Structure 1
Amino acid sequence: MKKNLRVLLLAAGPGLLAPAGATLAQTPTAARPALSNQSAVVDNMPLSLQQAIEYAIKNKSSLLATRLAEQTAKARVGEIKSAGLPQVNVAANLADNFKLQKSLVDFGSLGGGSSATTLTQADIAAAQNGQTVNLGTVTLPSEPVPPQAFAFGLQYAGNTSASVSQLLFDGSYLIGLKAAKVYEQLAQKQTQQAEIDVVEQVSKAYYSTLVARERLQLLSRNVQRLDTILFQTNQTFKAGFAEKLDVQRLQVQRNNLVVEQQKAQRLTELSVALLKFQMGLQQEQTVQLTDSLSAAVIDAGALRQRLGVASPTTGGGVSGLAGVPTAPAPTSGNGAEQARQDQQTALSGARVGQLAAAFNYNNRIEFSTLETQQALAGLDLANRRAGAYPRLVATAAYGFSGSAKTAGNLFAFRGPDSRASNGFPNQNWFGFGNVGLSLQIPVFDGFRRKYQVQQARIAQQTIEKGFETLRQSIDLQEAQSRTTLVNALDVLDNQKANLELADEVARVSRIKFKEGVGSNIEVVTAETSLREAQTNYYAALYDVLVAKVDRDKATGELYNQAKK
């Protein structure tokens, strides 16, 4: 990202730093209306760095997608919790047994070879006429009857039921509740990580536009100053006191400067477009930056004091930190030990012991995220082990079942009080119900749980190893950001001194030329050197601002500063 922004600033070659356009005219910093979540294009939206960051955090599409993942994590937590709530189910089904299944029944086992009473139609008629009937007995054959096919049920059948179950104990569920909360924390930290990246990108893009705007104003003043010199030289030429070549040199210089200004204007539009993209703002929306570059310039002395380094020119800077550090004389003859200490000092970014000890790894969201992942890995290991615990569930069910020879008769829904025309009960629906406990005790699963525990333990150990790698990475990033920032401050001090010298040389050259004791070539050369010094100064200033953002991110302070 820093490289891309640097390209915008220096793409036109020496003497050019991407300036801001007319839509970025500075306004008083006191007028900073609150920036709301705007979807419609408004005229010239006022935009401070803080407002740009707040807008990006609320509207950047990548952040919105990350927040959706956070909402998914919350929904996942609710899903896990729901397993411990009562589970209620209602079921109903209807069947047309167009071909009833038959089973063989051994009727012979009911009493083959015993005696039985005979009842004939004549006996029934006599009984109906009020006559006394003497029933006779017969002896059944001793040979049993072979099994006969018998169909149970009727063609149409249906049932409906409601069941309730309540989890009473499950070790995996209890651990899952803890893991769900940690999982939600992990999603929140991932969102915060994405917000930090957005703050970094918007800050760099905003600083790029601030530097560009300042450079454009300086370019405009250079054009005006060159126009004045060109006019005076042209008048002198007409009076016969200057050569035409002097006028032509200045005209060439002015043409080149105007071309730079035009290129700067187009590159400015590109830098503003990049800022809008990093914010998630519509490209059609015009913006007006309300922060000034002077407000963004870093107090080099205070910053050097925080970093524990001295100014390369004064040895103490604004705050006075003692002299420029020099290499200490060796105190022992152990050259290898001294070389090892020097290497460690260099790798640590030349931090003194107090500063190194003051660094808190927990300030980095990556470290906090890894701690959350470690907690999840521990809970996953406990969950695998909890698979050996019994599982107890309370169950209850109640419903009705019915059957009939025809579909219409099935839906008659006749209860126990229903009677047929001949007085016999003709109930076709019957109720049923049950309550119970279900206990599941895992005994042997073919060592599946054993290998799951091994995998979970290895995953936990892998995360633990990652802490050392992350610490080393954070140390390296902190040292690199510190070194880059110190170097950028040194370059800025040097370029500022060069700019002051180049400005003085150009001023003296213009005076000498105006008084007739200097040459036109001297003025052109001085003006060219001044523009190069200006470009180098603003490029160095941008590098310091970007290095400060990288430093704040490396120390974990960027997010907290953006929230202020």
Structure 2
Amino acid sequence: MTNNYSGKMLLSGVLLFFSTYARAQQAFTLKEAVDYAVKNHINVKNAQTDIHSASARVNEIKAIGLPQINGNVGYTNNLIIQRVFIPAKTFDPSASESDVVAAEFGVRNSGTAGVSLNQILFDGSYTLGLKAADVYRELSQKSLTQTKQQVAENVTKAYYSILVNEERVKLLNLNIGRIDSLYRETKRLNEQGFAEKLDVQRIEVQENNLKIELKNVNRLQELSYYLLKFQMGMKTEESIALTDKMESIKIADFLPQIDQNYKYTDRIEYSLLQTQDRLGQLDVKNQKVGYLPKVSLNAAYNYGTGRPQFGDLFTKPWFNSASVGFSIQIPIFDGFSKKFKIIQSENALQKIKQNMNLLENTIDFQVKQGQITLKNAFETLQEQKANMDLAKEVVRVTKIKYEQGVGSNLEVVNAESSYKESQTNYFSTLYNVLIAKVDLDKALGKLYND
């Protein structure tokens, strides 16, 4: 019984461990990493909050056109009642012509209660405000898309950086293994008197340099993972793994994209300017309709009373009153205020149109730059790959010559140094190709779409 219970507890513990580990470490493809980021990054969440605020702003503007109803309750205590001077003969025919009576005009306590209504019948600014509100909401939606694209760009570059570093780590480990083998062999030859101590020291220095470089790359890789998690909106203490590998990326497929056609409207920045242009046009119209009259309907229903004693307000009758009417506000002269507001709005609209022309030129340049950069990086990568393969072959041949006694240790060390340098150049160019691809996709407006 006890053994059975212990077995169940052990099994539960093992399952709990693996389930916790599975939750702790998440694996992501590049697409999954981007999708995670556009859902969890703080900048995206803030942009989504801005959309909710824009929606509330739209509803606020619409509410202005609905009936505005207000209630009111008031109480007044006339501490010193105003007096009205009336000829005394009005009340006493025998009184002198010069005598007056200072009669109190009003009562000490008065109360009012009522409700009022105001309804816009015509206001040009309100009508245009409704149109502008919808455009403003569209602008916030496009701002969200722009934020997502920026997040996708940062995540993609960070992801590629890790993949390239992984390949560097693999090759460095192979280099260290090969140099270590050469070091042990040379040391054995030195002990037998067939190699100088200097030969051993040269190889030892090279092996130490490779180990130092490996440590640096591993630290850089650790930092790259932190950067990726930051760009994804994850906490740095969370553990992640990348399921995409460098060999799964077909670099040759990048070339056909160099000659892609593009449209300015594919760029979210251009689309944002188009929306701002519509808002600018509405703003100009809004300033101009300020010259039109405004018409509104108003109505009121009230109860009121006045009594000498405060308690009478609650025991004596109140009297009702009602009114209905409309008002027309006609602008006549405002010191040319509207005129100058219109000039400012027209200038702001002109700047937007000029910025659109500037952005068109910028997009043309960025696309051409991206195409040339990617093509150059791709061709350089092919050359660096051939150079690296050649350096690898030189290492192989010089090592064989050294083992057969027809080559020097210095030749082997120099060949290894050249091979390592060619590897560094290759991976640097490989990263440049990947980043050039991301930059070109961004210039074409194809980096990320909802």
Q: Is TM > 0.5 for Structure 1 vs Structure 2?
A: yes
1:106 is displaced (CA, Å) by 5.2
1:149 is displaced (CA, Å) by 3.2
Which residue does 1:183 correspond to in 2? Answer: 136
Residue aligned with 1:406, SS: coil
Which residue does 2:35 correspond to in 1? Answer: 54
Which residue does 2:208 correspond to in 1? Answer: 255
| Larger displacement relative to structure 2 (172-181 or 88-97) | 88-97
Which residue does 1:24 correspond to in 2? Answer: none
Superposed CA offset, 1:135-170 (max 9, x none): xxxx656x6455543322222222111112222221
- Determine the C-alpha separation between the residues in 2 that align with 1:498 and 1:550: 27
Pairwise mapping of residues 391-406 of structure 1 onto structure 2 (< 5 A)?
Answer: 391-406=294-309
1:378 is displaced (CA, Å) by 0.7
1:291 to 237, 244, 250: 244
Residue aligned with 1:558, SS: coil
Which residue does 1:241 correspond to in 2? Answer: 194
- Determine the C-alpha separation between the residues in 2 that align with 1:294 and 1:379: 53
1:501 to 2:384 alignment: no
Which residue does 2:18 correspond to in 1? Answer: none
Residue aligned with 2:244, SS: coil
Superposed CA offset, 1:315-340 (max 9, x none): xxxxxxxxxxxxxxxxxxxxxxxxxx
2:276 to 373, 395, 398: 373
1:389 is displaced (CA, Å) by 2.0
- Determine the C-alpha separation between the residues in 1 that align with 2:77 and 2:108: 6
The sequence identity of aligned pairs, in percent, is: 43
1:241 is displaced (CA, Å) by 2.8
Which residue does 2:341 correspond to in 1? Answer: 452
Residue aligned with 1:282, SS: coil
1:435 to 2:338 alignment: no
What TM-score results when the alignment is normalised by the length of structure 1? 0.72
Residue aligned with 2:448, SS: helix
What is the aligned length? Answer: 430
| Larger displacement relative to structure 2 (535-544 or 490-499) | 490-499
| Larger displacement relative to structure 2 (66-75 or 255-264) | 66-75
Pairwise mapping of residues 97-496 of structure 1 onto structure 2 (< 5 A)?
Answer: 97-105=78-86, 140=94, 144=97, 148-299=101-252, 302-308=253-259, 358-412=261-315, 414-415=316-317, 429-496=318-385
Pair 1:550–1:176, CA change in 2 (3 A):
same
Superposed CA offset, 1:248-305 (max 9, x none): 2222211111111112221221111111121121111111111101223422xx4334
The answer to whether the Cα contact below 8 Å between 1:171 and 1:386 also exists between their aligned partners in 2 is yes
The answer to whether the Cα contact below 8 Å between 2:258 and 2:374 also exists between their aligned partners in 1 is no
- Determine the C-alpha separation between the residues in 1 that align with 2:213 and 2:86: 106
Partner amino acid, structure 2, of 1:95: T
Q: Which runs of 5+ in 1 are unaligned?
A: 1-39, 117-138, 309-354, 416-428
- Determine the C-alpha separation between the residues in 2 that align with 1:86 and 1:479: 57
Which residue does 1:343 correspond to in 2? Answer: none
Residue aligned with 2:311, SS: helix
Partner amino acid, structure 2, of 1:271: S
- Determine the C-alpha separation between the residues in 2 that align with 1:465 and 1:375: 14
Pair 1:152–1:498, CA change in 2 (3 A):
same
Pair 1:381–1:103, CA change in 2 (3 A):
farther
Quick check: which has more Rg, 1 or 2? Answer: 1
1:79 is displaced (CA, Å) by 0.9
Superposed CA offset, 1:462-497 (max 9, x none): 222222212112222222222222221122121111
- Determine the C-alpha separation between the residues in 2 that align with 1:106 and 1:449: 55
1:62 is displaced (CA, Å) by 2.2
The answer to whether the Cα contact below 8 Å between 2:111 and 2:306 also exists between their aligned partners in 1 is yes
Pair 1:103–1:72, CA change in 2 (3 A):
farther
Which residue does 2:15 correspond to in 1? Answer: none
Partner amino acid, structure 2, of 1:289: L
Residue aligned with 1:256, SS: helix
- Determine the C-alpha separation between the residues in 1 that align with 2:254 and 2:31: 21
Residue aligned with 1:281, SS: coil
Structure 1 outlier segments of 4+, above 6 Å = none
1:528 to 2:417 alignment: yes
Partner amino acid, structure 1, of 2:390: L
1:104 is displaced (CA, Å) by 3.5
The answer to whether the Cα contact below 8 Å between 1:42 and 1:286 also exists between their aligned partners in 2 is no
1:455 is displaced (CA, Å) by 2.1
Superposed CA offset, 1:487-544 (max 9, x none): 2112212111111111111121222223332221111111111111111101100001
Residue aligned with 1:291, SS: coil
- Determine the C-alpha separation between the residues in 2 that align with 1:250 and 1:226: 7
- Determine the C-alpha separation between the residues in 2 that align with 1:107 and 1:280: 89
Which residue does 2:16 correspond to in 1? Answer: none
1:243 is displaced (CA, Å) by 2.6
Which residue does 2:6 correspond to in 1? Answer: none
Superposed CA offset, 1:22-72 (max 9, x none): xxxxxxxxxxxxxxxxxx994222122112212221222222222222222
Pair 1:147–1:550, CA change in 2 (3 A):
farther
Partner amino acid, structure 2, of 1:57: V
1:544 to 2:433 alignment: yes
1:395 is displaced (CA, Å) by 1.8
Structure with the larger helix share: 2
Which residue does 1:81 correspond to in 2? Answer: 62
Pair 1:306–1:290, CA change in 2 (3 A):
closer
- Determine the C-alpha separation between the residues in 1 that align with 2:164 and 2:88: 105
What TM-score results when the alignment is normalised by the length of structure 2? 0.90
The answer to whether the Cα contact below 8 Å between 1:167 and 1:393 also exists between their aligned partners in 2 is yes
Superposed CA offset, 1:407-456 (max 9, x none): 333233x33xxxxxxxxxxxxx2212222222222233232222222222
Pair 1:267–1:401, CA change in 2 (3 A):
same
Superposed CA offset, 1:196-225 (max 9, x none): 111111111111111111111111111111
The answer to whether the Cα contact below 8 Å between 2:87 and 2:97 also exists between their aligned partners in 1 is no
The answer to whether the Cα contact below 8 Å between 2:398 and 2:411 also exists between their aligned partners in 1 is yes
- Determine the C-alpha separation between the residues in 1 that align with 2:79 and 2:53: 49
